[in-house]
Chain A
Amino acid sequence: MSANGGPLLEVSDLHVEFPTEDGTVHAVDGISYTVQRGQTLCIVGESGSGKTVSSLTTLGLTQTQGAQVSGRIEFEGRDLLKLDKNEMRAIRGGPISMIFQDPLSSLHPFYKVGAQLIEAIQAHQDVSKGAARDRAVELLGLVKIPDPQRRVDQYPHEFSGGMRQRVMIAMALSNDPKVLIADEPTTALDVTVQAQIMSLLAELQQRLGMAIILITHDLGVVAEIADVIAVMYAGRIVEHAPAEQIFSAPQHPYTWGLLKSIPRLDTPRDEELVPISGRPPSLIKRPSGCFFHPRCPYARESHTRIDPKREPVPGDPGHEVACLLEPDVRARIWKRLVAGDSPEVLKRELVGASPAPVVATEPAPETPGVEP
């Protein structure tokens, strides 16, 4: 039983694997994180990082793809992975709900929006159709859809992209969730619409006090709304810290790579983008030792053999990173990167001898059938 001070949701050592014809896909490889009441956790990663799979698994939605799951997901004192089908269904769309990336394809094209909302409501609450309908109209108003009385009887294709995402949000809020999982909710939307939706989410969180797990690859979005950030790579969390620290003192070379490779409005225009070389690894045959070493400019030979564990950063409470470089070396590298030095220079100067062998960037086959 979680006490008032305990976390709302606690994921411990979660592993999710998919057996496929080409081998076992290790989509999520031992991740742990917690979410407090009313907090916003952002999971940052690219395709193949496992960010989506971990959230789908929280809601038991990966079963249909034949996932093998182990670990613990504790919510309000119960392990979600041990619940039976009916108990899990009561959680999905109720205390924990989820919205997805593409609002056009996420709503059923043949049913009216109101009907879909009513369905979500009646799945968890014992109310009459009329009461459910009233609640549906109320929810549409809550997400600032104008003229909700009329629009509740329209079909999804009659709404614009931003409006549809608001409908999805309304549907997710219909049973007063404690945790809202949002998987790339604005990636498919125009930037002005994205701003509207992010503003709406922030406001709703304030009003309703729910926790949000936001999955995204957009560091700008993350900066806006995150309290805590978890950076995922190849199925692992490589860095986990309060938001300010990820941006001011990032510790993992992947995080550095992400921050240095994106063009930003607030840095000099002609500053070179420093890309991360290579490509995300195959989740079937992962690199030896540290998963990131083939792409890490600072990898030493020993990093091809040793797999780093997530460890706290000395002097930085709440900040954890999985990296074999020494903390002081990391701090210096980041400082110099900010100043504009290139990784090659820093590697020679700061990381020292015994570099990792050059790895040819072979194209790995696309991981079939599994959504990242």
Chain B
Amino acid sequence: MSATASPLVEVRDLVKHFPIRQGVIFQRQIGAVKAVDGVSFDVLDGETLGIVGETGCGKSTTARLLVRLLEPTSGSIIFEGDDIATASGSALKQLHRKVQIIFQDPYSSLNPRKTVGSIISDPYIIHGMYTGEGQRKKQVQELMDRVGLNPEHYNRYPHEFSGGQRQRIGVARAIALEPKLLIADEPVSALDVSIQAQVLNLLRNLQREMGLTLVFIAHDLSVVRHMCDRVAVMYLGKVVELAPSDELYSFPRHPYTGALMSAVPVPDPSGAKRERQLLAGDVPSPANPPSACRFHTRCPKAQDICSVDDPPLESKGAVGVAACHFPLTLDEVRLRLPPALTAAVSEDPRYSPSSSSASSSASSSST
């Protein structure tokens, strides 16, 4: 994806706090779950942007904010020049012609009482398109065919389909209005391995055919690498690293990204026995995140400054950005990534050791 592609969506300082209330009659707010706590990134036109992270990082909340299923606590989401963060009513309805979402669980995200045809027709009915019933049915059946479903199953109910097929129904519904932006929230996590590839390929093909911009949210780093041009890594409500895939997967800068990479099991017995860089402890609660750099409580490179000074998201010597005072050095990266990935890195002059200490002070000893 060329760096000169214009942003379709500009997210700035997006915040979503869910209040925690207590009290018998009068509910006082005693705290908040800081699901998304100041996130800024662009979604470039035509790209596939991946958002990865583990439980509690805020990626699903971000997905819902982008499609405005949730209203942000503060911050702006500029879509095609307009700030949609506080849009409502008809503006929101118009927005949904251009921005759609696919959900994770194919078993609960479809209304079991509606036929497949009815589910996919809904967007047309809501937006007053294809008003003739015959016309609509034909259009829906075309959509079904496009996503790999048998158009003759128009009148079947969701429970008569498998998980993979239900997910295709969700995709058909989402692309019915030919949106510009499609958010996919963990679209294959609930599917069998052999079906995942089918749905992933479908998404890729549709994207190419329709010129979609895709925001792909997942916890599986291998899937994200395969699907996405750029990847944002989230931890406890903040973006800790954002880089083009090639760069992220050969030379991640943020220690958390390194930990994620190190943890991914690779289906290769020879490479699998490498030493894992395991994180200690659990993810802190988003209701009570650590001060300054959220990762400092578990970071192998953390020093005093990390609990005092929240590092900004900035370039560490290459195209991508990371929020860290002590980003990973090439040697540390080699310990964490599968050999196949790091082999490419050493030859590339962009990633020579001198460029990795572009921002911070003396790099600490390698872990």
Contacts and interface: CB of A to CB of B under 8 A. Distances in A.
Interface of A: 46-47, 160-163, 190-196, 198-199, 217-224, 226, 243-244, 247, 257-259, 261-267, 269, 272-277, 279-280, 363-366
B200 A273 contact: yes
B268 interface: yes
Interface in B244-270: 245-246, 249, 259-270
A275 B282 contact: no
B219 interface: yes
A227 to B, nearest CB: 10
B159 interface: yes
Interface residues of B, number: 54
B223 interface: yes
A190 B235 CA distance: 13
Contacts of A365: 160
A262 B226 CA distance: 10
Nearest to B343: A266
A363 B165 contact: yes
B54 A219 contact: no
Contact of B340 (A160, A266, A273): A266
B276 A199 contact: yes
B267 A247 contact: yes
A190 B276 CA distance: 15
B159 A366 contact: yes
B222 interface: yes
B272 A265 contact: no
Given A191-B54, A273-B200, 19 more contacts: A160-B282, A163-B282, A191-B220, A191-B264, A192-B54, A193-B54, A195-B262, A196-B279, A199-B278, A220-B264, A220-B265, A222-B267, A257-B194, A263-B222, A265-B340, A273-B197, A275-B196, A279-B164, A364-B162
A161 B282 CA distance: 9
Contact of B260 (A191, A224, A279): A191
B2 interface: no
Nearest to A246: B269
Contacts of A266: 266, 268, 271, 338-341
A241 to B, nearest CB: 12
Contact of A275 (B54, B198, B283): B198
Contact of B269 (A193, A218, A244, A269): A244
Contacts of B223: 263
A193 B278 CA distance: 9
A262 B266 contact: no
A14 B337 CA distance: 41
A280 B192 contact: yes
